[in-house]
Amino acid sequence: MTAGVLFVCLGNICRSPTAHAVFQEMVNANGLGEHIRVDSAGTGDWHIGRAPDARATAAAAQRGYDLAPLRARQIEAADFEHFDFIMVMDRNNLRDLQPLRPAHFRGELGLFLNHAKRFPEREVPDPYYGDGDAFEHVLDLVEDAAVGLLEAVVLHCGLQAVRR
């Protein structure tokens, strides 16, 4: 069984592309690329087609993640048909997605940081108007939650032991 994981934020140029690249890296490192599809989208339409924010790209590159090939897109109703885990960065994202959620959706729509283990925060703060530290904090939170999310997805798919 395969699973689709979609990360969602407001602009799809800072937080969700960061989560996309970090989670994809973890999926690849565990040899699960054939089983888990990863994507990201924004609730807003301002940055459609644009590359991720240069500050997010630079901070991620320092930790070995490549955001450069990603391009922003806006979430659409059909995403609820194609993804099993729709992971939002904050409660505003969740509020914006509720009207798009079809009654038959059986996946998990929720806060990505519900899967965090080390950090108590449940929202990834928007770093867009922040400084460099804001982007480091996004990475810290995302790396933490990605570990827990991968465990949940592996369980969902009935996949075997994760390779490290």
- Closer Cβ to ligand 4NP, 81 or 133, answer by number: 133
| Region of 5-13, 61-69, 94-102, 111-119 interacting with ligand 4NP (CB under 6 A) | 5-13
Least spacing, CB of residue 8 vs ligand 4NP, in Å: 9
Please indicate whether residue 140 is annotated as part of the active site. Answer: no
- Closer Cβ to ligand 4NP, 32 or 142, answer by number: 142
- Among 50, 96, 126, 157, which one carries the catalytic annotation? 126
CB burial string 67-103: b at 16+ within 10 A, e below:
beebebbbbeeebbeebbbbbbbbeebbebbeebeee
Cβ-contact 13, 53 below 8 angstroms? yes
**What DSSP element (H or E) covers 37?**
strand 36-42
Pair of tokens at residue 97: 């997605």
What is the per-residue binding string for ligand 4NP in 91-130, x denoting contact by CB under 6 A? -----------------------------------x-x--
**Binding of residue 57 to ligand 4NP (CB under 6 A):** no
For 7, the 3-state DSSP assignment is strand
Pair of tokens at residue 51: 């590359």
**Which conformational region is residue 160 in: left (phi greater than 0), alpha (psi within -120 to 50 degrees), or beta?**
beta
Q: How many residues bind ligand 4NP (CB under 6 A)?
A: 10
Among 13, 26, 94, 154, binds ligand 4NP (CB under 6 A): 13
Least spacing, CB of residue 159 vs ligand 4NP, in Å: 29
Please indicate whether residue 84 is annotated as part of the active site. Answer: no
Cβ-contact 16, 7 below 8 angstroms? yes
Please indicate whether residue 157 is annotated as part of the active site. Answer: no
Residues that bind ligand 4NP (CB under 6 A): 9-15, 46, 126, 128
